[in-house]
Homo-oligomer: A and B are copies of this chain.
Amino acid sequence: MLKAKRIVVIGGSAAGPKAAAKARRLDENAEITIIQREKELSMASCGYPYFVGGFFDDRNMLLCTPTGVVRDPIYYMNAKNIQARTNTEALAIDRVKKTVLIKNLATSKSETIPYDRLILATGAVPNIPPVPSGDLQGITTLQRMQDADFLRRVRDEKKIKKAVVIGGGLIGIETCEALQLAGIDITVIELLPQLLTFLDWEMAELVENHVRSKGVNVITGNGLAAFLGEGGHLTGVKLANGTELPCELAVVAIGVRPNSKLAQEAGLAIGEKRGLLVNEFMQTSDPDIYAAGDCLEIENRITGKRNHAPYGDLANLEGRVAGENAVLGNVATFPGTIQTGICKIFDFKAGTTGLNERSAAQAGFNVLTVINASLDKPGFMNGKLLISKMIVDKADGRILGAQVVGPGDVSRQIAQWAMAVMGKMHVEDVVNADLPYAPPFSLAIDHFIATAHLMQNKIKGRLKGITAIEVKEKIDKKVPLYLLDARGPDEFESMRLGVGEHLIPLGALRKRLGEIPADKEAEIICFCKISLRGYEAALVLEANGWKNVKVMEGGIVAWPYPRER
């Protein structure tokens, strides 16, 4: 019998345990060890904001199997015959001797352990603002289990009244919701001009408006200048523009970067984004060392460029591939990411897949976009709004990406777009998609398909769209425009842009053509609540000889600016 293979996994959060478990399933005889610096193992770290926000109260739910068994070293030994060494830090890798120097953080004892195959799953570390914190109490991240425990105590103790979240990305926004649900006054500060940079600006504005509607103060385009403190406690933050915000708590959430120090010191290849470089087999520049999870840079499946994609789902999938190949040699491949993401933001959800307009343009695509707004299911089934932006390659209609926001079922929408992007589908491949329809689940023509219909109409030259951003620019520049709102008077009373638009209900338009500018070259922009009636109004005007008629995509509900009503 061959000597048992020794597999050492460094990192015990998501990718590491997955790789270890996969390796065990493929080799019952291997000696498998997980080295984990933290006290906990297999933490559902994406669940921290929901624990803090009070969606559940038992912290063990973040650590246990679906049947309630905590995934501690005893569990790993009994259920999987894996030795999990927690509170243990990996200090150095000797690639020649094939050993790892580890240190027990409780006893401070060091030890050298041998490996035949090493799997690095060292994760990511939070970025820290370039501002001294002076060791003030009340400044934290939400990265580790102990951070979650701390913020949960903040929630339970109800002492803190005001907090600042520094960073308006995914974790920042989830933390903002969690703390707001804890009854704390929240200000979110973002250096960039928008929240959630995976979204294009006008989509992010819709999210920002929703966040504000929940009583959260949002400050964009402004960075942190200093933490203010007294007696060792945080008392406020100062912004780049001089504003001072009193607060007792600051959560720093300005992104993460690959934790690649150990690998770098061992001489493994590191990429431009400071992540470990691996081939399609999850193999590093050392053939005996594999890697998975947030410590990597991985390839974008559309652009072919490497980027840092620290997502929990990818970490698991990468871990599975790394674990398989560590045991069997390079038999399994990982295709990279299309950077699909989703988050819940109070009653909204926001998701993305593939490229957004900015990243697609940066990647050199000639981009065509469309915005669509509709309910997710019929009104009689309490349908909720969805607003989508679809991005295709103008050259051939290939679907490059999509973003969806709103209170509706964003999850299914993004899942559909992700499958379309991965399937390298084109507009024509999805306009007649056969998707699950029944009133409790979708409209008869699902929002996804309707979005593709708009794009098809645009490509065929039937829908001449104009974005809200372009319309606003024209209004601000006082370009002569005739803005036509095709809704009914009641709707106009309860909600309207108030930018000088003229109300002519679609049903009356054919009889009231005399009110439209007589000049057939005049620029006319039609819209309604979601711009379906706006589209029909534009077609009526075009058929009656007006030559410069456009439809404002997404209508009033996708207008990213303040409305009159």
Which A residues are within 8 Å of any B CB, using their own CB? 14, 25-26, 28-29, 44, 46-47, 50-51, 55-56, 58, 61-62, 64, 66-67, 69, 75, 78-81, 301, 311-317, 320-321, 334-335, 337-344, 349, 351, 353, 374-375, 378-381, 409-412, 414-416, 418-420, 422-423, 425, 429, 431-442, 444-446, 449, 453, 462, 487-488, 491, 506-508, 510, 529-530, 533, 535-536, 539-540, 542-544
Contact = CB atoms under 8 A, between A and B. Distances in A.
Contact of A539 (B28, B533, B536, B543): B28
Contacts of A317: 431-432, 445, 449
Contacts of A536: 25, 79-80
Nearest to A533: B79
Nearest to A412: B412
A318 B251 CA distance: 53
Contact of A507 (B75, B425, B449): B75
A438 B79 contact: no
B313 A445 contact: yes
A450 to B, nearest CB: 10
A380 B444 CA distance: 33
Contacts of A410: 436
Contacts of A66: 374-375, 379, 529-530
- Report copies per complex: 2
B436 A414 contact: yes
A139 B378 CA distance: 29
15 contacts: A28-B539, A47-B381, A50-B380, A55-B380, A66-B529, A79-B536, A311-B437, A313-B444, A317-B431, A317-B445, A342-B438, A411-B441, A415-B435, A422-B433, A423-B425
A420 B25 CA distance: 28
Given A416-B419, A434-B339, A439 B47 contact: yes
A44 to B, nearest CB: 6
Nearest to A540: B28
A330 to B, nearest CB: 15
A380 B62 contact: yes
A134 to B, nearest CB: 34
A375 to B, nearest CB: 6
Contact of A418 (B80, B313, B433): B433
Contacts of A381: 47, 50, 55-56
A494 to B, nearest CB: 11
A51 B415 CA distance: 30
B78 A343 contact: no
A244 to B, nearest CB: 34
Contacts of A539: 25, 28
Given A25-B539, A418-B434, A51 B440 contact: no
B61 A380 contact: yes
Nearest to A449: B317
Nearest to A441: B411
Contacts of A342: 436-438, 441
Contacts of A80: 536
A272 B411 CA distance: 40
A340 to B, nearest CB: 5
Nearest to A375: B66
Contacts of A75: 507
A453 B445 CA distance: 31
B344 A56 contact: no
A67 B487 contact: yes
A381 B46 CA distance: 11
A269 B435 CA distance: 29
